[in-house]
Amino acid sequence: MADIAATGSAVAKRRRRRIIVNKRVAPYVFLAPFIILFVVFLIVPLLYAFDLSVYKSTLVGGTRFVWFDNYKRAFTDANFWSGIVLLIKFSLMQIPVMLGLSLLFALILDSGTVYAKSFFRVSFFIPYAVPAVIATLLWGYMYGPAYGPFAQLATAIGWPKPDFFNDQTILPSIANIATWEYMGYNMIIYYAALQAIPTDLEEASLMDGAGAFTYALRIKLPMIVPTIIVTIIFSIIGSLQLFSEPYLLINLARNVINSHFTPNLYAYTLAFTGQQYNYSAAISFVLGGVVAVISYVFMLFANRGVSR
Amino acid sequence: MPKDKSILGAGLDRRRFLQVAGASLAAPALATLPAGVARADDVVNLTFWAWTPGTQDVVNMFEKKYPNIKVNLQNVGQGAPHYVKLRDAIKAGTGLPDVAQMEFNSIPSFKALKALADMGTSGANDVKDKFVDWTWKAASDGDKVYGIPWDSGPMGLLYRKDVFDDNKLTVPETWDEFADAALQLAKNKPGTFLTDFGAADAGWIAAVLWQKGWRPFHVDGTNIHIQLNDPIAKEWAGYWQKLIDAKAVDTAPVWTTEWFAGLDSGKYASWITAAWGPTLMTSSMKASVGKWRAAPMPQYKKGDKIDSNWGGSNFSAFTTSPHLKEATLFATFMGGDPDAGRFWNTKEFLFPVQKALIEDKELMGTKYDFYGGQAVNEVFAAAENQVDVGFEFAPFQDYVNTQIQDELAASIGGKGTLADAFDRVQDTVVSYANDQGYTVV
Amino acid sequence: MSIVGKSTASAGFVRTRWLLTGVLGLYFIYTFMPLVYVITASTKTNPDLFTSFGLWFSEDFHLWQNLYDLFTIQKGIFSQWLWNTFYYALVSGLGSAVFATLAGYAFAKYDFIGKNFLFALVLGAVMIPQTALVIPLFLLLSKFGLLNTPWAVILPSLVFPPGVFLMRAYIDEAISNEIIDAGRVDGAGELHIFSSLAFRLLMPGFTTVFILAFVASWNNYFLPLVVLNSSEHFPVTVGLAQWYASAVSGSGGSLLFTVVMAGALVSILPVIVAFLIMQRFWQGGLQAGGVKA
């Protein structure tokens, strides 16, 4: 019996050894599926885009290699830089408002002092479930100058009809849509971070005599600063790439939204209407570079602020 | 006997190959179909991209007549998105359909891309005489046929009889009369406009300028003549600028739900549009049924009879199609078959391009309820014969349209006058043409 | 669970509670305004859409007719679109969650050559503008003959870098090294450790990534727009946008704005319902990330 048992366990050990993955190899095995897909569907297209950007195809004359001409052109292209300036204005307007609200609501929900906490938490997240196409369609209707509900309400009260699509109001109008879509998403992130703070801190600070408000501001908030920084960076990256909302609203607001309103929209128009695929690729890379620079600069400031 | 390891691959040895080859050589006698078209037991599959509603019904008609050709109809977008997809496929080198809807204004662009097949080599010229002259010429180059005409859009004036009557307006016959009527209406009834000026409606702008004699493009090989900001355009811009500044016309975006509602409610008393305008109106406007009428487009000189065209499509085949003969057969049927033509007009209200239909007094005399019983086709039939030929679109018309939209809409938004906008468009289009390798003359 | 503030039931405290609840309530109204709009618009007839007040119902209750039209127009293509959207989102969501979990595990629990470089690469990927990728992706997919197939939408969606960050952070917190070392001492292979010991602990984080990837795929518009040509492959976003364009230019015949609105309503309901059901799981996922295992 003992022999059989011994043999059995020896066989089992051999069997297990055969499928043991070496500890040094394991991380690569785990990473492989993701990295392969990442390379095929992200890196390869990127390399191809770069390849596109150093050539030039024209209706007359075919394709030729042009070194970095497209990039030189991008650096002096007023259409591109006006879009960047516009997005910087947009970001300064939209990000503080959206993240401010997210933070405020997250703190309120986390403090446990409101009624129907779960109800609010879930309902604020719902806009994230609405595709941008539909959200923009809906807000586009709501903004309607003649038949939208805001215009109807204004007429009923006797106020002049609000114009959501002029020079001054177009950025806030788009910012509103973006805020509506993503406030809940950021709020949940902050909420989770706040909830993760161990409760013994609360008891300790209460014993020290801190009120709820002070506790929230002085103790909890600083503890989630890393999370806040991450959301700011992702928001910056997102808003510098603004595309869907102006693309979907353009027919309602042609007087203020033009085909190069944002750099991404410009890249799209270049490729899909002007057939300037090469220049479009260069524009996308320069945009990516601008995004990287701005994100990096922000991270530098943020880290310096944190370490103080 | 050992299997013959021929280059034909594993499953087919020499004996069987000879059998099959012999069989196919023995059957050319089937003469029921035009030469070169697939035999009865070979089903040919064609892909056809089009957005016009009702197309499936006419495709069904074709499939019934030619049961060995199956057509897969796809709507890949209406207008601009459709052309984006075509260009994407051209860039990728694959994925083009066999046949696609191709508006008159896009033919030069796709010719420049060398994508359009010459259907003349497959017998398209046989149907040439069926079509109104200018439509055939606009889609072909001598014997080279790049499109079989489908419908056209001769311009006219659609107006609300009730609004005109209420405000004691007479139907304007000249543009001066039109301007007077606009100012009068704005004075008597603020909030109601004679029409909505679509600064971003590049197709409309081209059509109305066409009537005035605007000929912005001429291509000769790799030379291109570009004159978008000539005195004709500037005068036209000045005319509309005056009306806009006096608030005699609205400047709200066109082709939106609110704009349709405005036409339906009488906020806009008229629409300068093409023969297919009525199509869109009947399907989306319920309140104004019976209140619309059609009249000839206003003229610059009293008594003139100059008209222009907006839109209108063709059936075009692509060079990548492996079945050019079948594609040509399909295109000539869809555009030239009398029953198909009748369907397009009676069911989809498209304006016909077949001479036989335009000369059909009964068809042209159909009374439409939407127009209070008016035989609207007669107005447009007359216009069709007055279309001033010789208008050339650019080989990069989509780019031009985007520039026109950007700049003219910007003027409305406050950046200078419409006339200034034309100058800006001229500059960007010239530099684009140079950039694309053309010699601008 | 916060205990701050509960120390007193004074009037001041109750007043604060109501005030804060009111603030949230106001934002709730703002959040639901467009949703109220889509609900009321779905119940109206097309002319009523412009004559009645936008945020309330009209006298004619036309919802059933609109829904009927929605599901019967163009031979019921809308149901096909709904199915496509669900199918793409499910496959992309599951696939990308699995790959992200594996990758996150590798980054969190191992040290290896190229670790920091690869992680920085994945981080950098987030900054790439989508327009830069779509055209080359389109050309790449056409070379493989995958254009106009579900794979054209699913395959690129399997790459979900945010999922990798999330899982790395989550695994750092949720799975202690002791468990893994114990498994190694027992002689178990790395894969075995992962599948039997770790995966159960990973479930909340995995669910979170799955939901985020699912929603991202459900909402995707630009990629499917470019790589799909046949309407039978469209997801709901592309299909509705096309119907909207048709309705606007009036050439849709039976395509009315009210039907587009009904379509919008039907297409956002499933995800909202799914959220409500799954919220128990992913809330836990995000929380557990902060709680020591």
Any idea what the CATH number is for the domain that residue C72 is in? 1.10.3720.10
CB contact under 8 A, A274 and B395: no
Task: Give the per-residue pLDDT at C245.
Answer: 79
Mutate to test the interface with B, among A273, A276, A277 (most CBs of B within 10 A): A273
Backbone angles phi, psi at A145, to 5 degrees: -65, -25
Position C83 in a domain: yes
* CA gap B59, C27 in Å, rounded: 53
* CA gap C99, C91 in Å, rounded: 12
Query: pLDDT band at residue C280, thresholds of 50, 70 and 90?
Result: low
SS3 assignment, position B427:
helix
CB contact under 8 A, C249 and B255: yes
State pLDDT tens for residues A238-249. 899 898 899 989
Q: Which of C23, C244, C286 sits opposite A137 (nearest CB)?
A: C244
Chain B contact set for A258 (CB, 8 A): 405-406, 409-410
CB contact under 8 A, C229 and B255: no
Nearest-by-CA chain B residue for A268: B84
Query: pLDDT band at residue B9, thresholds of 50, 70 and 90?
Result: very low
Task: Give the per-residue pLDDT at B307.
Answer: 93
Query: In this structure, what token pair is assigned to residue B333?
Result: 């049927």
Position C109 in a domain: yes
Task: Decide if B108 contacts B397 (C-beta within 8 A).
Answer: yes
Task: Give the per-residue pLDDT at A304.
Answer: 80
Position C46 in a domain: no
Task: Decide if A179 contacts A101 (C-beta within 8 A).
Answer: yes
Q: How many residues does chain B have?
A: 441
* Average pLDDT across chain C, whole number: 81
Task: Give the per-residue pLDDT at B217.
Answer: 95
Helices (H) and strands (E) in chain C — how many of each?
13, 0
More confident residue, C13 or B85: B85
Which CATH superfamily, name and number, covers B33-152+311-359?
Periplasmic binding protein-like II (3.40.190.10)
* Average pLDDT across chain A, whole number: 86
Is A244 touching C (CB cutoff 8 A)? yes
As a whole number, mean pLDDT of residues B210-219 equals 94
Is A145 touching C (CB cutoff 8 A)? no
Task: Give the per-residue pLDDT at A21.
Answer: 60
Task: Give the per-residue pLDDT at B11.
Answer: 35
Task: Give the per-residue pLDDT at B41.
Answer: 64
pTM for this one?
Answer: 0.86
Is A217 touching C (CB cutoff 8 A)? no
* CA gap B398, B406 in Å, rounded: 12
Query: In this structure, what token pair is assigned to residue B148?
Result: 């079989």
B425 pLDDT more than 90: yes
Cα torsion angle, C38, C42, C44, C47, sign: positive
Query: In this structure, what token pair is assigned to residue B233?
Result: 């355009």
Q: How many residues does chain A have?
A: 308
Task: Give the per-residue pLDDT at A278.
Answer: 93
Asked which of A80-94, B289-303, C201-215 is least confident by mean pLDDT, the reply is C201-215
**Domains of chain C: total:** 1
Is A98 touching C (CB cutoff 8 A)? no
B198 pLDDT more than 70: yes
Query: pLDDT band at residue B31, thresholds of 50, 70 and 90?
Result: very low
A110 pLDDT more than 90: no
Query: In this structure, what token pair is assigned to residue B332?
Result: 């000539």
Position C49 in a domain: no
Is A111 touching C (CB cutoff 8 A)? yes
Q: Which of A252, A273, A277 sits opposite B253 (nearest CB)?
A: A252
* CA gap B242, B248 in Å, rounded: 9
State pLDDT tens for residues A174-186. 999 999 999 998 9
* Burial call A219-242: b when 16+ CB within 10 Å, e when fewer: bbeeebeebbbbbbbbbbbbbbbb
Position C242 in a domain: yes
Chain B contact set for A48 (CB, 8 A): none
Give the orientation angle of helix C130-143 with respect to helix A277-307, to 10 degrees: 130
In sequence order, what are the beta bridge partners of C54? none
Quote the distance between the C-alpha of residue B39 and its chain's center: 34
Q: Report which secondary-structure segment, H or E, holds A107.
A: helix A78-111
As a whole number, mean pLDDT of residues A4-11 equals 54
Report helix, strand and coil shares of chain A as percent, to nearest 5: 75, 5, 20
As a whole number, mean pLDDT of residues B396-421 equals 94
Chain C contact set for A134 (CB, 8 A): 38, 237, 240, 264, 267-268
* Average pLDDT across chain B, whole number: 87
Question: Which residue segment(s) compose the domain that C146 sits in?
Answer: 62-292
Give the orientation angle of helix B231-245 with respect to helix B175-188, to 10 degrees: 20
Query: pLDDT band at residue A3, thresholds of 50, 70 and 90?
Result: low
More confident residue, C88 or A302: C88
CB contact under 8 A, B78 and C246: yes
Kind of pairing between the strands at B217-220 and B313-317: unpaired
> How far is the CA of B427 from the CAs of B106, B241, B392, B430, B436, in angstroms?
22, 21, 19, 5, 14
* Burial call B380-396: b when 16+ CB within 10 Å, e when fewer: bbbbbebbbeebbbbbb
B residues 275-304 near C, CB within 8 Å? 279-281, 283-284, 286-287
Domain spans, chain B: 33-152+311-359, 155-308+368-440
Cα torsion angle, B37, B39, B40, B43, sign: negative
Asked which of B241-245, B401-405, C60-64 is least confident by mean pLDDT, the reply is C60-64
In sequence order, what are the beta bridge partners of B149? B314
As a whole number, mean pLDDT of residues A212-240 equals 83
Report the percent of chain B where pLDDT is more than 90.
Answer: 66
Task: Decide if B215 contacts B390 (C-beta within 8 A).
Answer: yes
For residue A74, give the nearest of A261, A266, A289, A283 by alpha carbon: A283
More confident residue, B281 or A227: A227
Chain B contact set for A145 (CB, 8 A): 252, 258
Q: Which CATH class is domain B155-308+368-440?
A: alpha beta
Position C278 in a domain: yes
CB contact under 8 A, C251 and B75: no
CB contact under 8 A, A251 and B261: no
